[in-house]
Structure 1
Amino acid sequence: MSSSSKQKEIQQQFQEQMDEKELLNCMRCGFCLPSCPTYIESGQQETHSPRGRIALMKAVRDGVIEPDEDVEHSLNLCLGCRACEPVCPSGVKYGQLLEDARDIIQQHKKQSFPVKLMRRVVFKGLFPSQSRMRQAASFLRFYQTSGLQTAARKTRILKVLPSHLQLMEQALPKVPPQKKKKKRLNEYKAIGQAKKRVAFFTGCLMDTVFSNTNKATIHLLQLAGCDVIVPPIQTCCGALHGHSGEKDQAKQLAKRNIEAFEKTDADAIVMNAGGCGAFLSDYGHLLQDDPDFQKRSKAFSQKITDISSILVELEFHRHLPLALPAQVITYQDSCHLRNGMNVQQAPRVLMKAIQGVTFKEMKDAGRCCGSAGIYNILQPDMSMQILDHKMTEANNTAAAAIVTSNPGCQLQMAAGVKKAGHMPSMRAIHLADFLLEAVQYGKKASSS
């Protein structure tokens, strides 16, 4: 296919698939500009702002400009943090426009064989398969526990990697043994009086590298009075696919999850990863054109609830003695939890209820940390630039712990702590793990 034919086909798909009403909803008022990390960090370049990117999408759709590398670069440099959505007076659903545009461009992108192979392995082979995810996590654990990691660091062989990947390797958490997951039940009874029947979305990264956080989440739900169902046939939420131009694969994963959770008849579907939660909440949009899943996807999405929200709803923090040794803590919002699901106060309510803890709000806590799925790998320069800004604000709080609600944020903030040389006096920790520590310490303190 010639270059001009390809561009015409992209334009045609923009006309057929992009929501013209949503594109026209943007009034170009500029309210989104102060909230956009890439606009700020790029020196206020208009093409790296939400309204600039929407203008590019519309121009491609109208045939005013060609969908060239500059357009693709502008869209790829976007974090997809959706911080522009809550401040938009017109309510433009920018995240959905971005995913649709990326998907169309990806379908027509000519890629080298290694890139094609890598995308196939990651998007079709690895993330949709929990058994392969467990195998990958087992290899990582072997690397960490066999002495290979120590040897690699001592021999400085890791210096062949780019600096940002070296940093990520140093910030990786200790991977738990993967065999233990065979012992997990499909249902857990509430501790005490049962108040709700909930289903738990385990995720893929959360259920392997961060499986201890999943165990903590289930236990917290039990303590709050929830019967917890864990559907064994659930799969990856599809967020990474949807954000990376693999929309068809994201739809297949969404259908599998809907079918798995429909059988639970749960009052709510609880998750503990902001990035997963926002995408799960958008299944109604993702499958809006599928007659078999149109209504089912909306019913599914309406049940999606963050762990912090349900704990506050059930007044978990009022019924248990939460306590920790005296320390200052701060909170890094998950962009998708805050902007996609509008969950801001619940995590803070829980943290402030812990005795001995002084909660200090970080300036720009809702600004993206630069993780954004695999953004920190694909766009390392901008990611590290954003992280440096974030760590400056975190340092100003003098916190001993940066609490997060998303695995990507946790890894990114751990990398920031390592980069700033603050280990072990500062740590990054998931909210569920932090709350379980408070439960366990509080019980000991109240019984002594």
Structure 2
Amino acid sequence: MTTTKERTAMQRQFQTNMDEDELMNCMRCGFCLPTCPTYIESGFQESHSPRGRIALMKAVVDGVIEPDDDVEQSLAMCLGCRACEPVCPSGVRYGHLLEEARSIIAQHKQYPFVVRVLRNVVFQWLFPHPRRLRLVTALLGFYQRSGLQEMVQSLGFFKLFPPHLAMMERVLPKVPAWKEMNNRPNQLAPKGRKKRRVAFFTGCLMDTMFMNINDATMKLLQLAGCEIVIPSHQVCCGALHGHGGEKAQAKELAKRNIEAFERLDVDYIVTNAGGCGAFLIEYDHLLEDDSEWNERAKTFTKKIKDISEVLLELEFSSIGLKVSPQIVTYQDSCHLRNVMKVASAPRQLLQAIEGVEFREMRDADRCCGSAGIYNIVQPDMSMQILDYKMSQAKQTNATTIVTANPGCLLQMKLGIEREGLAGRVRAVHIVELLLEAAETNKLFVANEQLRATTRKTS
């Protein structure tokens, strides 16, 4: 519970820092309401809609209300999916308002001791330091490979936790060993004719817990004719910090990444995680008040491109893609669609795979409920949103659910577990399916060539 002193300090900073022009842009028309998962799942509570949250922020700025616990809860309940932005006739940049409001609250709120420790560990000690993150991930890998995981599960330890956390532990990917995570390439040559020179943003969790997806991404880029540069000094994109109210730390991470990439002579900076890409592409907004860095940030953001856009531009599907017959549906990454404006490229690539019967999921563009760590800090709403998402996925009869973001991938795997579909339905990142299709076709072609040679010699 916030104190009077904390609320006074918050209100003063709301009045100083919030963009009042942006707040005033909201016409209260309600176009955003049908797109907002928390508004729908809360039973159409206005305080859990974009329009309602903007009204609360404006009321705090105007001194009509205090930034009390109800205001904080309304903002905390927001997924930050930004589905409201594309449909807003006034072009309100809701995501920017939300991040600023959360930052103000985080700066002045006195969290309980345990929460303060956890926030310091996650935001200050762990994610800004790649080596530490690799070490922690390596410990998770040891837990998975040593037999400890099986022993802990057999003892029923996770029965002490909420069911969704126990399931989440089961669907975590098999993470690589310490040596593998420290033996990463800095440069890769294209397979065949060079078409582009690109830099690859590896991310933090993507190059540790989801390292196989990064490896698949680089293989695809090579097959598409890209020379790849992988700067060793890049760090976490800062999305977790920005969404969690740690704006100052997010700015520092942004500056480190700009420095790591800005001297490279590349056509694009490629990302494979919608959440990371959306934060990277808005570094110019993050650093808009810093005259020294804003122009550098603008140059940086112009080169950000999702892997699906690059592959489509380079006509990757022309190499021939083939998988065993399967029904595929696609779950949009909110930030990839709503911020990076990428929706058709992944679908075109999937539909170009021989053996894929693509079926569009109803409300594929609605958030799955992952939203960073939302499924941990707001589990009830997250699971409610996930249950709706899985009901739509099941309507397609898909055997493969494709995503374009690691959080979405884990959430969909969690949904598969919750629905008892494990073994019948799988969730994969789009680059995993594309690489599978490319390698399956290579094997198919090689076998046909071998059969042809055998027929000739017999």
Q: Deviations over 1:129-156 (max 9, x none)?
A: 1111111111111111111111111111
Does residue 401 in structure 1 map to residue 400 in structure 2?
A: yes
SS at 1:206's partner residue?
helix
Q: Which moved more, 1:91-100 or 1:151-160?
A: 151-160
Equivalent positions of 1:86-97 (< 5 A) are 86-97=86-97
Aligned to 2:263: 263
Aligned to 1:360: 359
CA distance in 2, matches of 1:213, 1:280: 19
Q: Deviations over 1:227-261 (max 9, x none)?
A: 11000000000000000000000000000000000
Q: Deviations over 1:65-116 (max 9, x none)?
A: 0100000000000000000000101110000000000000111101122111
Structure 2 residue identity aligned to 1:21: D
CA distance in 2, matches of 1:118, 1:181: 25
Aligned to 1:439: 438
CA distance in 1, matches of 2:4, 2:206: 44
Aligned to 2:279: 279
CA RMSD of aligned residues (A): 1.0
Q: Deviations over 1:186-220 (max 9, x none)?
A: 11111111111110000001000100110110111
Aligned to 2:168: 168
Measured after TM superposition, the shift of residue 6 of structure 1 is 3.2
Aligned to 2:7: 7
Equivalent positions of 1:67-86 (< 5 A) are 67-86=67-86
Equivalent positions of 1:52-131 (< 5 A) are 52-131=52-131
Aligned to 1:180: 180
CA distance in 2, matches of 1:172, 1:164: 12
CA distance in 2, matches of 1:14, 1:32: 23
Does residue 212 in structure 1 map to residue 212 in structure 2?
A: yes
Aligned to 2:44: 44
Structure 2 residue identity aligned to 1:192: G
Q: Deviations over 1:328-371 (max 9, x none)?
A: 01101000000010000000010000001101111100000000
Q: Is the 8 A contact 1:369 1:413 kept in 2?
A: yes
Q: Is the 8 A contact 1:200 1:229 kept in 2?
A: yes
Q: Is the 8 A contact 1:333 1:404 kept in 2?
A: yes
Q: Is the 8 A contact 2:207 2:214 kept in 1?
A: yes
Q: Which moved more, 1:262-271 or 1:59-68?
A: 262-271
Q: Is the 8 A contact 1:321 1:446 kept in 2?
A: no
Q: Is the 8 A contact 2:332 2:404 kept in 1?
A: yes
Q: Is the 8 A contact 1:190 1:227 kept in 2?
A: yes
Aligned to 1:344: 343
Aligned to 2:290: 290
CA distance in 1, matches of 2:176, 2:348: 30
Q: Is the 8 A contact 2:103 2:245 kept in 1?
A: yes
Measured after TM superposition, the shift of residue 413 of structure 1 is 0.3
CA distance in 2, matches of 1:136, 1:352: 38
Measured after TM superposition, the shift of residue 3 of structure 1 is 4.1
Structure 2 residue identity aligned to 1:36: C
CA distance in 1, matches of 2:111, 2:86: 36
Does residue 229 in structure 1 map to residue 229 in structure 2?
A: yes
CA distance in 2, matches of 1:157, 1:230: 40
CA distance in 2, matches of 1:177, 1:221: 24
Q: Which moved more, 1:352-361 or 1:142-151?
A: 142-151
Q: Which moved more, 1:95-104 or 1:135-144?
A: 135-144
SS at 1:269's partner residue?
strand
CA distance in 2, matches of 1:173, 1:396: 26
Aligned to 1:144: 144
SS at 1:284's partner residue?
helix
CA distance in 1, matches of 2:400, 2:305: 25
Aligned to 2:368: 369
Q: Deviations over 1:244-279 (max 9, x none)?
A: 000000000000000000121211100000000000
CA distance in 1, matches of 2:115, 2:217: 36
| Gap regions ≥5 residues in structure 1 | none
Aligned to 2:154: 154
Does residue 305 in structure 1 map to residue 305 in structure 2?
A: yes
Q: Is the 8 A contact 2:142 2:177 kept in 1?
A: no
Structure 1 residue identity aligned to 2:17: Q
CA distance in 2, matches of 1:182, 1:206: 14
CA distance in 1, matches of 2:103, 2:412: 29
Measured after TM superposition, the shift of residue 120 of structure 1 is 0.4
Q: Is the 8 A contact 2:36 2:83 kept in 1?
A: yes
Structure 2 residue identity aligned to 1:241: H
TM-score by length of 1: 0.98
SS at 1:293's partner residue?
helix
SS at 1:327's partner residue?
strand
Does residue 411 in structure 1 map to residue 410 in structure 2?
A: yes
Q: Is the 8 A contact 1:178 1:208 kept in 2?
A: no
Aligned to 1:387: 386
CA distance in 2, matches of 1:392, 1:301: 37
Q: Is the 8 A contact 2:134 2:181 kept in 1?
A: no
CA distance in 2, matches of 1:431, 1:198: 19
Aligned to 2:199: 199
CA distance in 2, matches of 1:305, 1:9: 40
Structure 2 residue identity aligned to 1:218: M
Measured after TM superposition, the shift of residue 176 of structure 1 is 2.2
CA distance in 1, matches of 2:151, 2:176: 21
| Gap regions ≥5 residues in structure 2 | 449-458
CA distance in 2, matches of 1:358, 1:365: 16
Q: Identical aligned pairs, as a percentage? A: 61
Structure 2 residue identity aligned to 1:110: Q
